[in-house]
């Protein structure tokens, strides 16, 4: 079956599908300027910049929202089932783009489509309160806030510090939102473990992956995986963990060997 690929919304494949079956990109470029960013290489390398720019397929933001609404409604049953991820080609909560992201998320909420946000920013709470028009409990039922946590601020010079992201996660979880963390890339195991220890009381799910094409010691990888899932088993919340395929492959571990709280890519945190 042919995958849907619209101007704003599309079906993910490959490594991206491990984050979400459906995704939305409005902008390319990002002022976080992370040293490890995959967008700086490959097909986006020629157009990449530290300033987010609206994709050239859109005339302006009004046109982008019109196309988004049209594509959303054309795929509504699938999007209501799987949710929509924001985004792979920029940080959707950068100060420059957050108001527009919130406008799109309002469309999602009004159409009962779960929205999954992944950000390295903790400075958009005022914008969220200002631009979010869906004030009902649907917001908390249909939105999950994710934060990338590496423990290495020096590799993410334009982003909010990791500890500020963790504090933002704490506040969002306290307010009743679902929260999750992306531990990708794992730059070093001790830093990733520290990020988990600092956030596990208010994080509902972790997605953990490695630097692309990085070389890792298989014994250390196995120890890391074993430590993470044992730590989650002891937690009263039974936090869910998704180890990405490349990590398990390099560790020599089959997904079927992992305990119950280690989920597969089909897991839907909105139905948990």
- pLDDT value of position 258: 85
Domain of 76?
A: 9-271
Q: Flag whether 30 is in a domain.
A: yes
Cut 0.85: pTM above it: yes
Report d(CA 135, CA 36) in Å as an integer. Answer: 37
Write out the chain's pLDDT in tens, 272 residues: 678 999 999 998 887 788 899 999 999 999 999 999 988 877 678 888 999 999 999 999 999 999 999 999 999 999 999 999 999 999 999 999 999 999 999 999 999 999 999 999 998 765 566 556 555 566 889 999 999 999 999 999 999 999 999 999 999 999 889 999 999 998 888 899 899 999 999 999 999 988 665 666 777 788 777 777 666 665 555 788 999 998 888 888 888 888 778 899 889 999 86
CA angle, residues 208, 212, 216, in degrees to nearest 5: 75
Q: Flag whether 21 is in a domain.
A: yes
The residue ranges of DSSP E strands in 67-126, in sequence order, are: 84-86, 115-119
Q: Flag whether 115 is in a domain.
A: yes
For 55, the 3-state DSSP assignment is coil
Q: Flag whether 4 is in a domain.
A: no
Q: Flag whether 1 is in a domain.
A: no
Tokens of 146: 């994710």
- pLDDT value of position 167: 95
- pLDDT value of position 247: 86
Cβ contact 142:108 at 8 Å? yes
CATH number at residue 120: 3.80.30
- Which candidate, 168, 211, 204, 158, places its Cα nearest to that of 189? 211
Q: Flag whether 26 is in a domain.
A: yes
Q: Flag whether 3 is in a domain.
A: no
B/e letters for 170-201, b = 16+ CB within 10 Å, e = fewer, are bebbeeebbbbbbbbbbbebeebbebbebbbe
Q: Flag whether 181 is in a domain.
A: yes
Residues of the chain with pLDDT > 70, as a percent, come to 88
For 87, the 3-state DSSP assignment is coil
- pLDDT value of position 131: 54
Cβ contact 84:24 at 8 Å? yes
| Structural domain total, the chain | 1
Residue 47, phi then psi, degrees to nearest 5: -105, 0
Inter-helix orientation angle 218-234/189-199, to 10°: 10
Q: In what order do the strands lie in the sheet with 178-186?
A: 9-11, 22-24, 84-86, 115-119, 143-148, 178-186, 205-210, 240-243
């Amino acid at each position: 079956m042919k995958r849907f690929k619209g101007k704003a919304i599309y079906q993910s494949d490959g490594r991206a599908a491990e984050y979400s079956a459906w995704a939305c990109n409005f902008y390319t470029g990002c002022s976080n300027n992370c040293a490890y960013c995959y967008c700086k290489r490959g097909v986006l390398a020629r157009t990449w910049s530290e300033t987010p720019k609206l994709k050239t397929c859109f005339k302006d933001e009004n046109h982008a929202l019109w196309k988004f609404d049209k594509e959303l409604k054309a795929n509504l049953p699938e999007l209501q089932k799987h949710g929509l991820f924001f985004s792979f080609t920029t940080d959707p909560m950068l100060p420059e783009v957050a108001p527009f992201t919130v406008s799109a998320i309002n469309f999602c909420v009004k159409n009962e489509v779960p929205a999954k946000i992944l950000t390295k920013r903790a400075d958009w709470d005022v914008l969220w309160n200002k631009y979010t028009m869906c004030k009902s409990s649907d917001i908390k039922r249909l939105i999950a806030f994710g934060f990338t946590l590496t423990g290495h601020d020096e590799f993410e010079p334009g982003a909010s510090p990791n500890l500020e992201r963790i504090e933002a996660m704490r506040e969002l979880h306290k307010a009743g939102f679902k929260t999750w963390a992306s531990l990708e890339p794992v730059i070093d195991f001790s830093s990733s473990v520290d990020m988990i220890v600092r956030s596990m009381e208010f994080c509902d799910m972790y997605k953990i992956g490695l630097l692309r094409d990085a070389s890792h010691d298989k014994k250390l990888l196995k120890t890391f995986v074993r430590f993470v899932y044992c730590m989650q088993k002891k937690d009263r919340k039974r936090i869910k963990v998704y180890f990405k395929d490349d990590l398990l492959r390099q560790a020599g571990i089959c997904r079927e060997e992992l305990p119950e709280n280690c989920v597969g890519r089909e897991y839907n945190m909105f139905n948990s």
